[in-house]
């Protein structure tokens, strides 16, 4: 009779942490300023205000919005503030950046909300591969967050890890 199968990964006490789980389920959309500019290059205050007043802002209801300009125009700070003033009653959250930058900022904000005390003296594996792309800044942020409290941090999968930090 053969020996029973032993799942050494399950018995190792490792905590697997998938950063993708911290990305909110809310839809992320972008508000591109370019179509609201004169010749898609120049911001004329009166025209800009008029074009913003014609937008149905309810389309941003409960969405995470990134504000950016896809053209190389000079956008005064008050223009971004005006957009935010219109978005605020509807959007779940508002950031400055294109879709990728907005997704990154949302994830970093969620990482900061993690209670590091739940990982005290634990051996943590930060998942390295997955269906959702995770930027470098998130791995930097989670390492900074966990290093003061964990026993060790590893990168990868529980069956194949790269050591990152070990408390001495």
- Computed from CA positions of residues 76, 43, 32, 57, in that sequence, does the dihedral angle turn out positive or negative? positive
List alpha helices for the chain, DSSP H. 8-11, 45-53, 77-87, 99-112, 136-146
Question: What's the pLDDT score for residue 157?
Answer: 84
Question: What's the pLDDT score for residue 121?
Answer: 95
CA–CA separation, 122 and 13 (whole Å): 8
- The CA-based angle 78-82-87, given to 5 degrees, is 145
131 pLDDT tier (thresholds 50, 70, 90):
confident
Q: Strand 123-127 relative to strand 28-32: parallel, antiparallel, unpaired?
A: unpaired
Question: What's the pLDDT score for residue 158?
Answer: 80
Q: Tell whether the model's pLDDT for residue 136 goes beyond 90.
A: yes
pTM of the entire predicted model: 0.81
């Amino acid at each position: 009779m053969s020996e029973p199968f032993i799942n050494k990964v399950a018995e190792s006490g490792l905590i697997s942490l998938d950063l993708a789980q911290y990305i909110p389920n809310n839809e992320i959309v972008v508000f591109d300023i370019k179509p609201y500019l004169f010749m898609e290059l120049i911001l004329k205050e009166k025209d800009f205000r008029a074009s913003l007043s014609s937008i149905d802002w309810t389309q941003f209801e409960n969405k995470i919005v990134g504000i950016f300009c896809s053209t190389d125009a000079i956008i005064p700070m008050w223009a971004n503030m005006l957009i935010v003033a219109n978005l605020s009653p509807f959007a779940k959250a508002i950031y400055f950046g294109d879709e990728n930058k907005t997704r990154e900022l949302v994830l970093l904000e969620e990482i900061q909300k993690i209670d590091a005390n739940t990982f005290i003296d634990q051996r943590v594996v930060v998942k390295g591969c997955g269906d959702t792309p995770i930027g470098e800044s998130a791995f930097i942020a989670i390492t900074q967050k966990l290093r003061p409290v964990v026993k060790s941090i590893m990168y990868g999968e529980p069956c194949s890890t790269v050591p990152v930090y070990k408390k001495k």
